[in-house]
Structure 1
Amino acid sequence: MTDWLDRGAPHVWRPYCQMKTAPTPLPVARTDGARIILEDGRELVDGIASWWTACHGYNHPHIAKAVSDQLARAPHVMFGGLAHAPAYDLARRLAALLPGDLDHVFFAESGSVSVEIAMKMAIQFWINRGVSGRSKFVSFLGGYHGDTLATMTICDPEEGMHSLFSGVMPSQHVVALPRDRDSEAALDALLAEKGYEIAALIVEPRIQGAGGMLIHDDEVLRRLRVLADRHEVLLIFDEIFTGFGRTGDLFACQGAGVTPDIITLSKALTGGTLPLSAAVASRRIFQAFWSDDAGAALMHGPTYMANPLACAAAGASLDLFEAGDWKADVARIELALRRGLEPCRGAAGVVDVRTLGAIGVVEFEAAVDSGGLCQQFAELGCWIRPMGKVVYLTPPFVTTDAELAQLTGVIRKVLGAADSQG
């Protein structure tokens, strides 16, 4: 049943692992709802929704039909000089759902690339307005924005994943989030001193994902908007993780009441079916590129940008969000995660337990044995992949109460937490 795994293993370079020592990956046969079914018939409850993408669960029939129907019409056409309904309809719908005047959608394939596009937009915005020298960015400790070269420069430099590449690309200003008066004053002073070279601030709103699942309150975002306006720099929200319901609002910026100048989207955009991302700009940003001068255009165009299949999937996913059932599910999941993970607070090495929307986090004082824990969770019927110092859950919104109990119960069991859940 798994001959394909043995034959292909010498040729596949896997992500985020030391190939020489990493255990053999679990062979997947199919998926269904919130479950991953392995080739040997075992079923794993997916606690992380395939890196936060499968928000509606796997194999959702409405999304599958939209993709199938589009496949029969046109799987792909280039977006340079051509147009198609799935992309144009999706752009219109995203603009209507996003706050403020975030009306101009530039499509790409991956989240990292959408962040690079947002960075490129921000730099060229100033160039097109006749302002020179604004090519730096301010990002924040604990942040993560991707693995491509430019995005690596705005990730937390101490987080470790990209430390080998220090000095390869221009350095950026990576500072503390303005959580209190002192850190706000420090950022204010930095912008006053270095604003002439800064194109934009960039932040993951409400929770910094891959950098450690670090939660901050909405007041932080309001402070960033005030400081960006005061010093005339742009504000970019990276909602690749937080967008599409994960924190309890469709977009985190909506709940905070803060509209950025550019927002990046990906991950759950297609409901976990096909790669698609977008950098969505405000009218002010777009107007800086609207010109009779061809040199003022944004010269960027990923080959598979606005792929019709992916856009059809995203449109179907938006249908499900607009139906509204996800809101009650996220609230239900938040309560289950809070109750189910709270006993872990007393486990050895645990320093914090926290929840936000459909996100539950157990943080340790030191990095955990991610591979070892992952294997133990899988042996108990759950797919949970820790990272850094955290064991976390970001389950599909369709995960049942019984499946949520299984996920949290397995974590308590493996971590040796007192089980008060009955």
Structure 2
Amino acid sequence: MTTHLWRPYTQMKHAAPPLEAVATKGTRIRLADGRELVDGIASWWTAVHGYNHPHIAEAVSRQLAAMPHVMFGGLTHAPAERLAARLAALLPGDLNHVFFSDSGSVAVEVALKMAAQYWLNRGIAGRTRVLAFRGGYHGDTMGAMSVCDPDEGMHRRFGAYLPEQIFCDLPCTADQTEALDAALARHRDTLAAVIVEPLVQGAGGMLMHPPEVLATIARLAARHGLPLIADEIFTGFGRTGTLFACEQAGIVPDILCLSKALTGGTMTLAATVARSGIFEAFWSDDPAAALMHGPTFMANPLACAAANASLDLFEQEPRLSQARAIGARLAAGLADLRGAPGVADVRVLGAIGCVQFAGAPDLAALKERLLARGVWVRPFGDILYLTPALTIAEADLDRLIAAVVETVRENR
């Protein structure tokens, strides 16, 4: 296997060789050595319909034959037009202005840029910072890193290089709510926006909060006249049991970021969607008021075709009820680990199950034990989590749950 690849989140000097995947199908990954693994994390939560879904594959194949890519500056095409209209119809309120990009981190970068320019276009200077929440993760590019948890996150070493932001705890208690309100009041004249991961802080440790907390954040942001950015890159498209997590709190953010499951895990695509009030600040006779951003592969026709096919499946097949059924099965299957030696917490929301250890586990040993049980699960930090495809068969889900339970018990 080549030594030229620089792998993600990996200390290359002493990393074990990666496993070579040669094929995928449904919820299975086949390796070069002949093993077949049940995928418990749907390739970083993207493959919501399972791998190689024929409806998506056919749509991409048709688009490939017609037009794999065309620049989006000065040109448009039907897959992007249709996808934007469908997203606008699905999202709550007047979230109806869709800017496409090519990854979740870039979607966040665009959202931050939109928020900052929103104020500049209104003639208000000095609003350059963002209020974010401890435990959060929003991506690996520079602006996105600046709104990730500054102390516990993987980007803390870059503090001197990043824009200085404001951080608060999620308002889960009365004191935390009061502290957030005070911070928004104190920094209001320098803040451009508030950003939050609705209901679940994913890469921060699958940290979950109830809809009431999200509603409180939206209420306080509105009270102080600040746009709210909802990062639904992880939570969007059924992962929490509703199509979008914001629905559960009954809120309409001013800007919403989507990626990961947008194309059903087929290829990279992202969207930053703004409400009319944000978009109108850019609608001007002044050319300088335009959003000067344009990823080369934005609105890639192949990716838009895949995303449209993925939305077809959400319309035609019972994905949300499947997500809720997965949640019920995860809750029942992981319940015995509550209070077990070495286990600090067990959390389930929608099609997300998480076991948090009381201390830092030996991640390499955990991965090997999981592989020995024929499953592909990637624990990180102090958690072991499951985010399977929403189409996973009960037998495969039970196998995943059993592998997690047995592995955790061995870890005592």
> TM-score scaled to structure 2, two decimals?
0.98
Q: Is the 8 A contact 1:157 1:163 kept in 2?
A: yes
What residue in structure 2 maps to residue 36 of structure 1?
29
Matching of residues 36-75 of structure 1 within 5 Å: 36-75=29-68
Q: CA deviation at 1:412?
A: 1.2
What residue in structure 2 maps to residue 278 of structure 1?
271
What residue in structure 1 maps to residue 358 of structure 2?
365
Write the letter of the residue equivalent to 2:106: V
Write the letter of the residue equivalent to 2:49: H
Q: Is the 8 A contact 1:346 1:417 kept in 2?
A: no
Instruction: Choose which of 294, 300, 308 in structure 1 pairs with 2:301.
Output: 308
Instruction: Choose which of 157, 173, 181 in structure 2 pairs with 1:164.
Output: 157
Matching of residues 49-198 of structure 1 within 5 Å: 49-198=42-191
Write the letter of the residue equivalent to 1:319: D
| Distance in 2 (alpha carbons) for counterparts of 1:44 and 1:24 | 17
| Distance in 2 (alpha carbons) for counterparts of 1:67 and 1:417 | 44
The alignment status of 1:405 with 2:398, answered yes or no, reads yes
| Distance in 2 (alpha carbons) for counterparts of 1:303 and 1:371 | 38
SS at match of 2:291: coil
What residue in structure 1 maps to residue 409 of structure 2?
416
SS at match of 1:167: helix
The alignment status of 1:341 with 2:328, answered yes or no, reads no
Query: Percent same amino acid among aligned pairs?
Result: 59
Instruction: Choose which of 377, 380, 387 in structure 1 pairs with 2:373.
Output: 380
- In the alignment, structure 2 segments of 5+ residues that lack a partner are none
| Distance in 2 (alpha carbons) for counterparts of 1:287 and 1:81 | 20
| Distance in 2 (alpha carbons) for counterparts of 1:378 and 1:328 | 29
What residue in structure 2 maps to residue 253 of structure 1?
246
Q: In 2 relative to 1, CA 102–160 (structure 1 residues): closer, same or farther, beyond 3 Å?
A: closer
| Distance in 2 (alpha carbons) for counterparts of 1:417 and 1:140 | 34
| Distance in 2 (alpha carbons) for counterparts of 1:352 and 1:170 | 34
* Alignment: residue pair count: 411
SS at match of 1:31: strand
Instruction: After superposing the two structures, state which structure 1 stretch, 161-170 or 262-271, moved more.
Output: 161-170
What residue in structure 1 maps to residue 387 of structure 2?
394
CA RMSD of aligned residues (A): 1.1
- Spell out, residue by residue over 1:146-189, the C-alpha distance to the aligned partner (whole angstroms, 9 max, x if none): 01111111101122411210111221111101111111111111
| Distance in 1 (alpha carbons) for counterparts of 2:296 and 2:362 | 39
The alignment status of 1:267 with 2:257, answered yes or no, reads no
Instruction: After superposing the two structures, state which structure 1 stretch, 183-192 or 321-330, moved more.
Output: 321-330
SS at match of 1:192: helix
Q: Is the 8 A contact 1:347 1:417 kept in 2?
A: no
Q: CA deviation at 1:354?
A: 1.0
| Distance in 2 (alpha carbons) for counterparts of 1:236 and 1:125 | 13
Q: CA deviation at 1:34?
A: 0.5
Q: Is the 8 A contact 1:368 1:387 kept in 2?
A: no
SS at match of 2:23: strand
| Distance in 2 (alpha carbons) for counterparts of 1:164 and 1:178 | 26
What residue in structure 2 maps to residue 227 of structure 1?
220
What residue in structure 2 maps to residue 3 of structure 1?
none
Structure 1's consecutive aligned runs of 4 or more residues displaced over 6 angstroms after TM superposition are: none
| Distance in 2 (alpha carbons) for counterparts of 1:15 and 1:112 | 15
| Distance in 2 (alpha carbons) for counterparts of 1:417 and 1:93 | 47
Write the letter of the residue equivalent to 1:181: A
Q: Is the 8 A contact 1:368 1:386 kept in 2?
A: no
Q: Is the 8 A contact 1:344 1:417 kept in 2?
A: no
Q: CA deviation at 1:347?
A: 3.3
Q: CA deviation at 1:345?
A: 2.0
- Spell out, residue by residue over 1:190-211, the C-alpha distance to the aligned partner (whole angstroms, 9 max, x if none): 1111100001000000110000
Q: CA deviation at 1:62?
A: 0.2
- Spell out, residue by residue over 1:116-156, the C-alpha distance to the aligned partner (whole angstroms, 9 max, x if none): 00000000000001111001000001100001111111101
Instruction: Choose which of 198, 202, 206 in structure 1 pairs with 2:199.
Output: 206
Q: CA deviation at 1:71?
A: 0.2
| Distance in 2 (alpha carbons) for counterparts of 1:104 and 1:154 | 24
Write the letter of the residue equivalent to 1:359: I
| Distance in 1 (alpha carbons) for counterparts of 2:87 and 2:134 | 30
Instruction: After superposing the two structures, state which structure 1 stretch, 271-280 or 166-175, moved more.
Output: 166-175
| Distance in 2 (alpha carbons) for counterparts of 1:226 and 1:21 | 48
Q: CA deviation at 1:367?
A: 2.5
- In the alignment, structure 1 segments of 5+ residues that lack a partner are 1-5
Q: Is the 8 A contact 1:57 1:397 kept in 2?
A: yes
Q: Is the 8 A contact 2:346 2:356 kept in 1?
A: yes
Q: CA deviation at 1:339?
A: 1.3
Q: CA deviation at 1:349?
A: 1.4
